[in-house]
Every structure is written in C-alpha cells, then in structure tokens.
Amino acid sequence: MIFTVAIDGPAAAGKGTIGRAVAARFGFAHLDTGLLYRAVGAKGGDPVLAARGLVPADLARDDLRTLVAGQAASRVAAIPEVRAALVDFQRRFARAKGGAVLDGRDIGTVICPEAEVKLYVTASAEVRAHRRWLEVGGDVSVVLAEVKERDARDMGRTDAPLRPAIDAVMIDTSAMSVDEAVAQAVALVAAKLGEME
C-alpha cells in the first residue's frame, strides 16, 4: 500500500514528535526532512555539492539537532539547487510501499501534494521558543529572536515557502499535551485509512 502522511510546520511546533508517533502507530517509515537540510548545512563547503552527495550516514551525525545546524539548514534550504537535489530523494521515500510519514516545511505543498493526509502543526512563537530553550538552553530571549528570524526566512523564501497546504488540517499545539496532539493526528490518519478500505 502507498500512503503518505505529510506534516508541515515551523520549528519546535511538534511535527517531528507527531510524525514519529504516527509512523510507529501505523508501521510507516518516517523521514524528518529537516535532517536532510541540517546535514547539508553541517557538511559545509558548497551546499549544492553537499546536497547532491548526501548519503544516509550524513543523517546520523550527532550535531544535527543543535541551534547552529538548524540555522544552517534554514540558510541552505533557501537555495533552489539544494532543494532540487533533495526533492527526488524525498518523493521516492514518500511513495514507497508500506506507507510513509514525512515532516518538514514543504511536504504537503511541494514534495507530496498528492499525500493522503496533510497536517500543518503549529504553535505560538513564544511556546516554540520555550520548547527549543528547554532542549538547548541559553538565553530565552535570544532563542525567541532566533525562532522568529527562522520563521521569517522560512516563510519568506521564494522557493517553497513554509505555508499550510490548502487542504491541510491545522493542529495548534500551543496549549496541547504531546499525547493530545498525537491522538488528534492518529485519529485523522485512521479515518483516512478507514475511508480507503
């Protein structure tokens, strides 16, 4: 069976947590597409060559979850040639047999507009900055400024800007527990799978 769940949203909204939980619940493969861009940014050098030469081992680096890697990812993701180099990889992953969950910023709009389920996971900038601060520490006001800067860059880029797909279901996790957010996503996927039987 080919079944794609596309999850988009800004940094620290909870899309990765939801994506992993949905994949585990239904036995689907999971791809955090942000890791592709983080890996390209972390490799350094020419980002286009880094994207074209990306190998699975690059996604296993232990420095990909840092704020520095996140900022680098946002910068290289704005380069059209980098995005093009990674699109095919993501599309093949999404439409492989067995089902797939992809989370990122342009999955439902660009990578998999034909996805069976599209979710847009969001939360207020303040809530997301607090979550990120709990992960990485530092000065909370600096983390909030970085979150807002990243949002502006991701939403303002010309190529595949961050925005919800027209047919995406919005999940605002600002006041939700992880369990509540996951339950809402699981229910949406289960309903769609039920319609297809």
What residues form the annotated binding site for ATP?
9-17
Indicate the SS3 state at residue 7.
strand
Instruction: Extract the annotated binding site.
Output: 9-17
Work out whether strand 4-8 and strand 29-32 pair parallel, antiparallel, or are unpaired: unpaired
Rounded distance, CA 155 to CA 96, Å?
Answer: 29
- Beta-ladder partners of 30: 101
CB contact set of 55 (below 8 Å; sequence gap of 6+):
none
- In order, the DSSP letters of 116-161 are SEEEEEE--HHHHHHHHHHHH-S-HHHHHHHHHHHHHHHHH-SSS-
